[in-house]
A = this chain, B = another copy of it.
Amino acid sequence: MSDPRSADEPRSPLAHRVPDLGALELLLAVARLGSLGRAAREVGITQPAASSRIRSMERMLGVALVERSPRGSRLTDAGALVTDWARRVVEAAEAFDAGTQALRGRRDSRLRVAASMTIAEYLLPGWLIALRGLLPGTAVSLLAGNSAAVADRLRAGEADLGFVEGLDVPAGLDGAVIGHDRLAVVVAPSHAWARRRAPLSPAELAATPLILRERGSGTRQVLDAALAGHGGLAAPLLELASTTAVKAAVVSGAGPSVLSELAVGEELAARRLVEIPVAVRLRRDLRAVWPLGQRPAGPARELLSLTRG
C-alpha cells in the first residue's frame, strides 16, 4: 500500500526560508561575542562576509536581528528570540554530526559502542556530545542493531560497551540499568480516544487492534508481556517495518499505537500525537552491557558514567 498522507503537501522548500547552518552558527557567535568581526574570526571568515551574511539573513527573515554600532553589535529583541530558535537547530545539527561521525568510525577507534536502534537514535548522540566535552579527541565508532547483534559484538570482543533495551540481560554479558523507557499509547488528535477523560483499562487496550512494528521488536515484546494477564494482545491493525512508518500511520489517523516515549516526544510536544493514559505499567529497562567480568574502563567507563543520572 502506498503512503497514506493527508494534508502536508503544498509546502515550499524549507531551505528557502531558513538560513543555512553556517549563518545560524554565525548568528550564535555574534550573540555570544557582541561583534560581527569577532564572530567572523571565530567561524573562520572575514568581517565583510559576516556582515553580508547577517544582512542577507535579515532580508530573508524580514526582521532586524542585530543592532550595529561603532562599538559593536547587540541582538535586537527579535534577534534574541531568533537566536534561541537557531540554537535549537544548531544543537540538532551537532547531534547529527556526533552520530554520523561515530557511524563512520573505524574498528580501531578508541571506543567501540554497540547499541540498539532506539538508544542509538535518541540517546547516543547526546551522550557522545557530552563525552566529547570530557574526553576531546576520542574516536568513537557505533554499530546499531538489535539486542542479539549487540550481544554478539560484545562477546566477540568487537565492541567495548553496549546498550540495549529489553526485559533481561543477554546471556554471557554483565550489565547495569541506566534508565527506563516508558511505552506510551498514542493516537492522532482527531481520534475518539483523544477526547476520553478516563484512563484506558488494560483490557480495553489489549482488545484494540493496534498499529505495531513487526513481530520481534522490543516494544512489542514488552507490550505482549504487560497485557498477557488481560486477555492478550489483539491481532494488529497494521504491521509496519519501521518506527517511523508506524508514527506516520498514527499521525495520519489510521489508528492507535504503542510507542516508546523517546520516539514520540517531538510529536507529543507539537500535538501531532496525543498520549492516552492507561492503567498499566508499560516500562522497560535501558541497560548498559559488557562482557562478563570485564568492567568497562577508560573511555567506556567515562561514557557509562555519563549515561546514569
Contact = CB atoms under 8 A, between A and B. Distances in A.
Interface stretch (A11-19, A158-166, A199-207, A214-222): A11-19
A80 B242 contact: yes
Interface residues of A, number: 70
Contacts of A3: 32-33
Contacts of A121: 81, 84-85
Interface stretch (A123-131, A169-177, A232-240, A291-299): A123-131
B126 A99 contact: no
B82 A100 contact: yes
17 contacts: A3-B32, A7-B136, A10-B136, A13-B22, A13-B43, A14-B97, A17-B101, A18-B96, A20-B20, A61-B100, A81-B117, A82-B99, A82-B100, A86-B96, A89-B93, A89-B96, A130-B270
Interface of A: 3, 7-8, 10, 12-15, 17-18, 20-22, 25, 31-33, 43-44, 61-63, 77-78, 80-97, 99-101, 103-104, 117, 120-121, 125-127, 129-130, 133, 136, 144-145, 242, 244, 248, 266, 269-272, 274, 306, 309
